[in-house]
Structure 1
Amino acid sequence: MAIINLTALFSRLVSNLPYTSLALLFCVAYVAVYRIYFSPLAHVPGPKLAAVSSLYEFYHDCIRLGQFVFRLDELHKQYGPIVRIGPSEVHIKDAQFFDKFYNVTTKLDKYDWFYRFANTPYASFGTIKAEDHRLRRSALAKHFSPASIIRLDPVITQAVSILCRRLEEHRRGKRVVDLGNAFRCFSGDVVTEYVVPDPLTLLEHENFAADYNSVFIRRFAIFGTFNRHLGWLLPVMLSMPRWLLLLTNPPAVLQVFSRIKLIEEQARIVTQSGGPPKQKKNYPLVLSSIYHSDLPAHEKTLIRLAQDGLVLVMAGTETTAITLSVATYHLLTKPHLLKRLQIELQSSFPAAADDTIISYRDLEKLPFLTACLNESLRLGSPVSGRLPRIDPNSPITYGDHTLPAGTAISMTLRDIHYDPSIYPDPRSFNPDRWLEDTDRARKLHEHFLVPFGKGARSCIGNNLALAGMYAILGNMFRKFEAIELFETTADDFEMAYDFFSPFAKSDSKGLRVLIK
């Protein structure tokens, strides 16, 4: 009887298929016509396909792999400073508008569809609503203030000391070293020492944890891009048993998810025991502090802590490593600039022994080192993806266009850093642009150098990142005066893919050097 009923049902479905297809086609046509001609964003110029569906971005981001950022450049050349890039999103390329939109007073939400790439809706970074974000950020902010970072000076100094020891080992053995991986190990060790109970100690790994750095970071970024469009992808894969994940994916994928689970286990230690560190520290552990804070109970769950921990480790590692790699490459390819830096370092600390690690607090006072770092932050722009925000309450006006409340409006930091009207010859490495004693130079720094974003949603870890960058650049180039690139070219650093952070070509060998 059941078989007969199923057969009859199937027959009816087949017989009605033409009508169903016609109805579906009508719905698609209706939505397309509405979005192109009658949507509140219909007046904003842009490609019609982008107005109809996010499949336009899916093609450039997932099929062509990380190419939508380059397509945005082409669209702005064609349509002007404001372009509609999705059914409910516009992108603006105008440095003067950046300050007006991304400020600390306007309560802007994040665009939930876009930020699915991180799969961290409970972390401060992935929080959509401005009010929820304010609550979650307040529990983190005190740990990343300038005063709090001063307490981490011994941690940073110790990590620099280990890195310099490892580099000396490579120098004596005349071995090639990938400094990009070394920088990732440094920043990863510092961040995990501060955030989770058991730090990673990557600096002691052979070859500076090459597998971890080359596989985990890049693979996770690619998965995130797909998860933006296929929001079920990462949650499903994370819920799969280890054996099934290995059966259905390459081993490298298993490594990605093993690292995510590792951070989750660190958060579990905190929720079960309060996360006391194995040795006494003179600073509070970030996840433990959140867990023992006066936040509501639902803000101190395992998933909350795990996702905040993951974001802090990932963002803190990659931002620092990208900037340090850009700085090192350009200084090594421009000997006259490197010489100026080394003279400044030697003259500033003439009495310091060779094995002394100079504190970042002393190094950040050096003008030319600061200029080199600023230029590396600008040129490297470690956040390459756009930053969409939504004002849920008020319309936004840009030029002749009024964008209704609820519109996703995005801008890209690289557009500001590479604007020739602000930075002449923007693709050249020119630290001297930061040494001009003029109002214009000061304005460059205060308004247009925005590697960590701006406003209430700016990167919370910028002070820690800067401290690490000063410590590495200053001490490395003071101790090792003869560092040479080894089979490394500009192509190994030029952004070829945008997965929110910039990634070089897939066969890049990284920042390989020989220390003489």
Structure 2
Amino acid sequence: MIEERVNVLMKRLEGFHQNQTVVRLDDAFSALTADIIASYCFGKSWRFVEAANFRSDFRAAVSDVANFVHIGQLCPWLIGLLRMLPLQQLRKLQPGKAAVFEIFSEVSDQADRSLKSNDQQRFIPDVQGQQIQETIFAKLTSPDVQSEERTLRRLQEEGLVVLGAGTETTAGTLTVAAFYLAWNKEIARKLRAELEQLLPSPTSTTSVLQLEKLPYLVRPSSPSLNILTHLVTLKNTPDARQRLYTKASVYHTVR
């Protein structure tokens, strides 16, 4: 499944190269990782890689949701208030954030279907369409999980977390790595020479296990992981909120 998605992206990038068209790699990598994580989570790909703009609105929506996390931790009552509003009403209040509500709706529908015993998307399909392993939602709704944990709300929250974390983190790492390979020609030359040992032609294929044995291939990924912006959240406790409010009050008074 991953190989199939990567091949589709490579064909699109080849088309951009032939047409001399500028492409945003962060959007392209985000579409790739979104397709992959959706397959692992729901059992089907969203096919963002095939979209004309790689569904950049989805990437912006994920960023908006991530930016709202801090507000939700400081004002949890606001999350509860938003949950009480139907999606249609939220769309009217924020018409420019349609992709955000599309994500909520898609995750909610998938969570609802996963809770039903006749769900047909409980397995991850491979390139040939064969079922290879259960999806994340199928595991979360398994009878082995306690009944109080198998709720629609929990699946909705888990789905959003998995989509956000699985999309932006990997896409960000790939984007940073691509930048440094384009910026430092010596690194790109050494990496290309090493890859040619396993992939002598553009149509050659190999396994992940073989690629992991290449020492220089793994090396550039470490700086990418270190440079990538990490997620930092505030501790949601009464003491932490009180300290923050106190500092804000002091700052306002001094000012």
Question: TM-score by structure 1 length?
Answer: 0.43
Matched, 1:379 2:250: no
Equivalent of 2:13, from 136, 159, 167? 167
What corresponds to 1:196 in structure 2? 42
What corresponds to 1:234 in structure 2? 79
Which letter does structure 1 place at the counterpart of 2:230?
Answer: V
Equivalent of 1:287, from 137, 146, 155? 137
Matched, 1:266 2:116: no
CA distance in structure 2 between the aligned counterparts of 1:233 and 1:295, rounded to whole angstroms:
30
Contact 1:198 1:266 in 2 (8 A): no
Which letter does structure 2 place at the counterpart of 1:383?
Answer: H
Change (3 A) 1:275 1:222: same
Change (3 A) 1:235 1:170: farther
Contact 2:73 2:234 in 1 (8 A): no
How many aligned residue pairs are there?
234
Contact 1:223 1:234 in 2 (8 A): no
Matched, 1:252 2:96: yes
For residues 455-494 of structure 1, the aligned pairs below 5 Å read none
Equivalent of 1:222, from 63, 67, 71? 67
Measured after TM superposition, the shift of residue 241 of structure 1 is 2.7
Which letter does structure 1 place at the counterpart of 2:232?
Answer: G
CA distance in structure 1 between the aligned counterparts of 2:37 and 2:28, rounded to whole angstroms:
14
For residues 383-462 of structure 1, the aligned pairs below 5 Å read 383-385=230-232
CA distance in structure 1 between the aligned counterparts of 2:62 and 2:22, rounded to whole angstroms:
22
Matched, 1:354 2:202: yes
Which letter does structure 1 place at the counterpart of 2:154?
Answer: R
Which letter does structure 1 place at the counterpart of 2:51?
Answer: H
1:296-347 Cα shifts (integer Å, max 9, x gaps): 1111122222221221111000110111111111111111111111111113
Unaligned runs of 5+ in 2: 241-255
CA distance in structure 2 between the aligned counterparts of 1:187 and 1:256, rounded to whole angstroms:
17
CA distance in structure 1 between the aligned counterparts of 2:68 and 2:234, rounded to whole angstroms:
19
Alignment partner of 1:181: what SS? Answer: helix
Matched, 1:176 2:22: yes
Change (3 A) 1:258 1:233: farther
Measured after TM superposition, the shift of residue 383 of structure 1 is 2.1
Unaligned runs of 5+ in 1: 1-154, 391-405, 409-516
1:105-146 Cα shifts (integer Å, max 9, x gaps): xxxxxxxxxxxxxxxxxxxxxxxxxxxxxxxxxxxxxxxxxx
CA distance in structure 1 between the aligned counterparts of 2:77 and 2:68, rounded to whole angstroms:
11
1:267-289 Cα shifts (integer Å, max 9, x gaps): 11111235322854111122112
Change (3 A) 1:288 1:176: same
CA distance in structure 2 between the aligned counterparts of 1:370 and 1:376, rounded to whole angstroms:
11
CA distance in structure 1 between the aligned counterparts of 2:189 and 2:136, rounded to whole angstroms:
39
CA distance in structure 2 between the aligned counterparts of 1:289 and 1:385, rounded to whole angstroms:
28
CA distance in structure 2 between the aligned counterparts of 1:242 and 1:358, rounded to whole angstroms:
45
CA distance in structure 1 between the aligned counterparts of 2:72 and 2:234, rounded to whole angstroms:
17
CA RMSD of aligned residues (A): 2.4
Which letter does structure 2 place at the counterpart of 1:259?
Answer: I
Question: TM-score by structure 2 length?
Answer: 0.83
Which letter does structure 1 place at the counterpart of 2:14?
Answer: E
Change (3 A) 1:331 1:274: same
CA distance in structure 1 between the aligned counterparts of 2:39 and 2:50, rounded to whole angstroms:
14
What corresponds to 2:217 in structure 1? 369
Matched, 1:332 2:182: yes
Matched, 1:299 2:143: no
Higher helix share: 2
What corresponds to 1:53 in structure 2? none
CA distance in structure 1 between the aligned counterparts of 2:4 and 2:135, rounded to whole angstroms:
17
Measured after TM superposition, the shift of residue 224 of structure 1 is 1.9
Alignment partner of 1:282: what SS? Answer: strand
Contact 1:276 1:288 in 2 (8 A): no
Moved beyond 3 Å, runs of 4+: 386-390
Contact 2:39 2:45 in 1 (8 A): yes
Percent identity over the alignment is 28
Matched, 1:314 2:159: no
What corresponds to 1:341 in structure 2? 191
Which letter does structure 1 place at the counterpart of 2:113?
Answer: I
Measured after TM superposition, the shift of residue 266 of structure 1 is 0.5
Measured after TM superposition, the shift of residue 265 of structure 1 is 0.7
Higher strand share: 1
CA distance in structure 1 between the aligned counterparts of 2:99 and 2:148, rounded to whole angstroms:
30
CA distance in structure 1 between the aligned counterparts of 2:239 and 2:210, rounded to whole angstroms:
45
Change (3 A) 1:303 1:257: same
Measured after TM superposition, the shift of residue 168 of structure 1 is 1.1
Measured after TM superposition, the shift of residue 257 of structure 1 is 2.3
CA distance in structure 2 between the aligned counterparts of 1:274 and 1:295, rounded to whole angstroms:
18
Which letter does structure 1 place at the counterpart of 2:102?
Answer: S
CA distance in structure 2 between the aligned counterparts of 1:355 and 1:327, rounded to whole angstroms:
23
